[in-house]
Amino acid sequence: MKRKLIKITSRAVPIDQENIDTDQILPARYLKAITREGFAEKLFRDWRFDEHDQPKPDFVLNDPTYSGEILVAGRNFGSGSSREHAAWALADYGFTVVVSSFFGDIFKNNALNNSLLPIQVSEEFLRQLFEQIASDPATEVTVDVQAQTISAAGHTESFDIQPYKKICIMNGYDDIDYLVSMKERIEAFEKTRKDDYSIV
């Protein structure tokens, strides 16, 4: 069972760049691993470190000014190949929410399957959020999964999430956990079924 995400208030890390693809999130050379641990240090590896494996001071994840569990990114985040490892890396780093005005469909599903909530907002809200964080890095963003709202600096916007995925995110379920949670209801249903099979 994964971490439950019902409501979170956190500072945010901004990457104001469009079309960030999964190869930039997690370079292809790290795809050999089959477990989900240890990917945090590989997140945005080629942007975070130089050829000598030294941190690049101008990249936001190396800037102590910014921190938090919420990543705010430009339009079309997670485009490109379908690697689930990109979602693993973001979650392993400590992000629980990614905000953008558009997501790659496969990345969005991979994120939801790994308790990483992708929140799609309007271009206007995203721009306001970037501007607010730039003017005050201590800006806090509140995400209410139950109400399906995201708020910051007096601005609030609703977001969509599939009802099934909402249940899973709020309860920390994967698909198997969800089925286990339904065990009593399934058993009760089975008891009420009538055997209508007959041999002809």
How far is residue 21's CA from residue 184's CA, in Å, rounded to a whole number? 42
For 74, what's the count of Cα atoms within 13 Å in the CB-facing half-sphere? 7
Q: List the chain pLDDT tens, one digit each, 200 residues.
A: 578 999 999 999 999 999 999 999 999 988 876 666 789 999 999 999 999 999 999 999 999 999 999 999 999 999 988 889 999 999 999 999 999 999 999 999 999 998 899 999 999 999 999 999 999 999 999 999 999 999 999 999 999 999 999 999 999 887 676 566 666 666 666 677 655 555 54
CA dist 75 → 11, 71, 176, 179 (Å): 20, 13, 32, 34
What's residue 148's pLDDT? 98
What's residue 169's pLDDT? 94
Q: Six-digit token pair at 164?
A: 């099934």
pTM of the model as a whole: 0.87
What's residue 30's pLDDT? 87
Contact assessment for residue 20 and residue 75, using Cβ atoms and an 8 Å cutoff? no
